[in-house]
Amino acid sequence: MPKWNVLAVDDEPIILSIIEQLLKDEKYNVTTVDNAMFAWEMLSAPESSFNFVILDRIMPGIDGLELLRRIKADSRLKSLPVIMNPERFRRNK
């Protein structure tokens, strides 16, 4: 059975570690990055083969919503599933 390629994007190392520990097994290859700009470079590369993205909303520089806009505007990536954690929206409340 082929593994799914997952890209996890978050500026907090502990969150990336948790995601990686939860998903890294015989079903998933997990790649973690700590900023949206680097994630965009990886996603837009011709050899990109991610099956879905787990994305933080609030990050320095390009935030998660801007990365999501770029993904959905790209004809090759627009159908790529993206998961954003709703709890992360409440960080500043």
Q: Where exactly are the structural domains of the chain?
A: 4-87
Q: Do the beta carbons of residue 52 and residue 81 sit within 8 Å?
A: yes
Q: Please tell me the predicted confidence (pLDDT) of residue 93.
A: 45
Q: Which whole number is the average pLDDT over 2-17? A: 95
DSSP state of 2: P
Look at domain 4-87 and name its CATH class. Answer: alpha beta
List, for residues 22-58, the tens digit of each pLDDT value.
998 889 999 999 999 999 999 999 999 999 999 999 8
- Residue of 40, 32, 30, 3 whose CA lies nearest to 15: 32
Question: DSSP readout, 34-56?
Answer: SSHHHHHHHHHSTT---SEEEE-
Residues 84, 68: Cα–Cα separation, whole Å = 10
Q: Which whole number is the average pLDDT over 61-84? A: 96
Q: Please tell me the predicted confidence (pLDDT) of residue 47.
A: 94
Cα dihedral sign, 71-74-77-80: positive
Q: Please tell me the predicted confidence (pLDDT) of residue 87.
A: 57
Mean pLDDT of the chain: 91
Q: Do the beta carbons of residue 40 and residue 65 sit within 8 Å?
A: no
